[in-house]
Structure 1
Amino acid sequence: MLESLGIGIGVAILGGALGGLALELQYRLRPAMQLDVTAKEWNLEVYEPQRYQIVGDVTLRNPLSRFEIMVPEMQCQVTLLSSASLAGITSTIQIIPQHPDAPARADNYWFAYIVKSGKTTQAEIRVEILGADLSHLQAAWIQIRYVTYSPAGRESQVSHVVVPLQFPTPDTSQRWRPTPKADVLPIRTHLLTHLDHPVEVVRHYVLPHARKGDIVTLGETPVAIMQGRWRHPTQIRPGWVARRLCYFFLPTSSLATACGLQALVDIVGPLRVLSAFVIGAVAKVLGQPGMFYRLAGEQARLIDDVTGTLPPYDQFIVLGPQHSQQIVDQIRQETGLSAAIVDVNDLKAVKILAATADITPAFLIQALRTNPAGNADEQTPLVLIRPTDPHPPT
């Protein structure tokens, strides 16, 4: 009798443990209760000396097949970036819901809306900027804050849009800088954002300076920014691996914070990061440093943590670019210029992420060794290279 009771209790405990484990596994594997938010169509519809008006659309899509997500709140905030004081400059924001099945209220109140599974809704955002002289404004950083309410609870979310407000005219009188086998020309652009495309930027800013045989290089961080590959730390949730391993990296590393390292974990997975760390630590003891970055993948070297680039992206973690070879090949095809995407620093280190087939790496490295684009706020993400050697690279 007692033996049977003991077996029954054991089975009950085991069943409870397995049930609890299954419930926990189901919880961890369930999809994230988040909306897919895109903000691609933004235009500077009024661009007058004393008045700017920015109009953009935000699309919210529920990717879940079973669950509904409610959006009870949406608000916007704008931060203006300027080369002069903002005194006397004001901005106002209007959010106009554009739900497919419910008209917007006349008082602009955002009423709680249900985004059904697989469905989308939109909102139009209007930003008006007024001032006696707006010529010093460089960009508007728009933060779209919204609340989701779902089986996961009430969660605050934020999406970011950067809209340039200053557009330099290509200056053909800019000074070229000599190097042993080429002349180089850093080219200033507007503040690049996810609203830009590398080909169009090259066409607008580089072609007025270029001639046959020139090479254009693009910085890897500006390319990543144009691809929208930047994340605010509030959007990143560091896990076990990132929180524990980040302390072992040098303070100057972009992986030395939990959010910076988690950005890499989100790309390649925790197991690869942990394995690369363990093997890298052993290799370092044996006199072979740098093994972690080789094993963890290219993104480990390319991530820029907070403060790693110019405002307002200094507030974000910027990932490395994607599809780099496709981009340079497209630039070559559509503009006729040879092209490369590079990572250059003030320590004379030049890393070529991708280059068209007609570029000799050694020539490119020598031309860029002095880092003509700079690492501060020069806002010169493009460098035009003109070979001066009688035998240019082929």
Structure 2
Amino acid sequence: MIFVWLVGAIALLVLVGWLGLEWQYRRRAGNRLAFAAGQWNIEAYAADHYQIVGVPELINRTPASEIMVPELTAETTLLGKETVDNLDVKVTITPQHPDAEARADGYWFAYIVKLQKRTQFKVQIDITGPEVRSLKALWVRVHYLTYGPGGRFPKTGHVIVPLQFPDPAMAPPWRDTPQAQVMPVPTHLLTHLDTPTEVVKRYASPHAQPGDIITLGETPVAIMQGRWRHPSTVQPGWLARRLCYYFLPTSSLATACGLQTLVDLVGPWRVFWAFIGGTAKKVLLRQGGGFYQLAGDQARLIDDVTGTLPPYDQFIVLGPESPQLIVDEIEKATGLGAAIVDVNDLKAVKIVAASPRVNRAVVTQALIDNPAGNADEQTPLVLVRPK
């Protein structure tokens, strides 16, 4: 009997020890080395040569571990109206570590990012060729290897840099609607380098007058906030892999990665109970849309891959953060009523947020035919002039 009790006690201790180790392991963050795009500038803008320089950062957000970066490289994709085959691209990476000088030969030596610290590196991209002025944007992928307690993991940071800029003084034509005139306003390809207020000031304000309303697409606003994720960085869990099959094929939640982004935003339990509640409403009351009501606004605003213009068609774009603060800031800075909207070609207009001066009924009617377009028009702003 004593032997049995002894074996049981040892087994219990082993189980408790194993559970303790597992609990501690699950609390560990792994290799949480984050990429921040930083500031990018066009240093040279000649007829046959562009030079783009950026200074991204690597930030160690791992609570109690140092993370090593043994490898770091960058590759580029050029987007333009013409062929890019005649263009030559050279990429130079120079470490700017706070405690170690860069090598003259350009070699990236393994570097340790210490606890809660960060490091920078300079990326210089020279584009040379006769068709350089046809380029619309530059997509930079920074590939870096993290090495630490979590193992050896490759990661990629993404940066989009606009290279073509419409003349803000050029006034697009107005279009008539029953209650207002509308002007779709072209801009450059919006990126993390932009802010909604400055974009409105630059492109819409020259054509506006008192009483006008400026509307911004919710997806471009989210892009300016950096709220986009490449599917390779999304790890679909048990819930997302199973529930995604129950959404319509046209839904941005109909893929495991698309739905997982919502899980990451609002939590698995809210998604699960929204699914249960939405199913019950549909079965018992014959009413759809219950899931989106229960899961929150972000469920409707996520755009999956192919949901927007290149190169963001390769990413999952989330809904904007704090949209009310953004429209209030635009109204204060420009004097224009402002609204962030979600509009499609099916005559569906959702006003995500609107400043106090906005007549929501007028905006809804003015945008019913989606003057901004759903293709690559690149007119994320629409100026509305009530009649």
TM-score range, shorter chain: over 0.9
User: 1:205 aligns to what?
Assistant: 203
Q: Tell me if structure 1 keeps the 8 A contact 2:348–2:368.
A: yes
Structure 1 position 173, deviation (Å): 4.0
SS at match of 2:140: strand
Residue 221 of structure 1 is matched in structure 2 by: 219
Equivalent position SS for 2:38: coil
- Which residue identity lines up with residue 124 of structure 2 in the other structure? R
| Helix, strand or coil at the partner of 1:32 | coil
Question: Structure 2: how far apart are the matches of 1:367 and 1:7?
Answer: 79
SS at match of 1:218: strand
1:350–1:368 Cα contact (<8 Å) kept: yes
Alpha-carbon offset, residue 23 of structure 1:
1.7
Aligned match of 2:73: 75
Pick the aligned partner of 1:271 from 269, 272, 275: 269
Match of 2:253 among 242, 252, 255: 255
Q: After superposition, what is the alpha-carbon deviation per residue over 1:141-200, rounded to whole angstroms, capped at 9, x for unaligned? A: 000000000011000000000000000112544211100010000011110001111111
Report matched runs for 1:6-45 at 5 Å. 6-45=4-43
Moved more, 239-248 or 12-21: 12-21
Tell me the residue number matched to 1:378. 377
Alpha-carbon distance in 2 for matches of 1:310, 1:54: 22
- Whole-Å separation in 2 of the counterparts to 1:173 and 1:357: 27
Cα drift, residue 64 of structure 1? 2.8
RMSD across aligned positions (CA):
1.0
Per the normalisation by structure 1, the TM-score is: 0.96
Deviations 1:253-289 (A, max 9, x none): 1111111011011111111111111121121111121
Structure 1 segments (4+ residues) deviating >3 Å: none
For residue 137 of structure 1, what is the aligned residue in structure 2? 135
Residues 366-390 of structure 1 show CA distances to partners (whole Å, capped at 9, x for unaligned) of 11101000111100000000111xx
In 1, Cα distance between the equivalents of 2:82 and 2:47? 15
Contact 1:172 1:208 in 2 (8 A): no
Number of positions where the alignment pairs a residue of Structure 1 with one of Structure 2 = 386
Shift of 1:91: 0.6
Distance 2:345 2:307 in 1: 14
Matched with 1:84 is 82
* Distance of 2:171 and 2:314 partners within structure 1: 34
Q: Secondary structure at the match of 1:208?
A: helix
> Which residue does the alignment assign to 1:169?
167
* Secondary structure at the counterpart of residue 93 of structure 1: strand
Q: Does the aligned pair in 2 maintain the 1:62–1:69 contact within 8 Å?
A: yes
Unaligned runs of 5+ in 1: 389-394
- Give distance in 2, aligned partners of 1:172 and 1:178: 19
Decide whether the 8 Å contact of 1:83 with 1:136 is kept in 2: yes
Between the aligned partners of 2:360 and 2:343, the Cα distance in structure 1 is: 13
Given residue 166 of structure 2, which amino acid in structure 1 is its aligned partner? P
Letter aligned with residue 386 of structure 1: R
Q: Please tell me whether residue 299 in structure 1 is matched to residue 298 in structure 2.
A: yes
Deviation at 1:39, TM superposition (A): 1.5
SS of 1:200 mapped into structure 2: helix
Q: Which residue of 1 aligns with 2:330?
A: 331
Aligned to 1:392: none
Contact 1:78 1:140 in 2 (8 A): yes
Q: Which moved more, 1:73-82 or 1:329-338?
A: 329-338
Identity of aligned residues (%): 59
Aligned to 1:236: 234
Q: Kindly indicate whether the alpha-carbon contact (under 8 Å) linking 1:64 and 1:117 is maintained by their aligned counterparts in 2.
A: yes
Q: 2:153 aligns with which of 140, 150, 155?
A: 155
Unaligned runs of 5+ residues in structure 2 are none
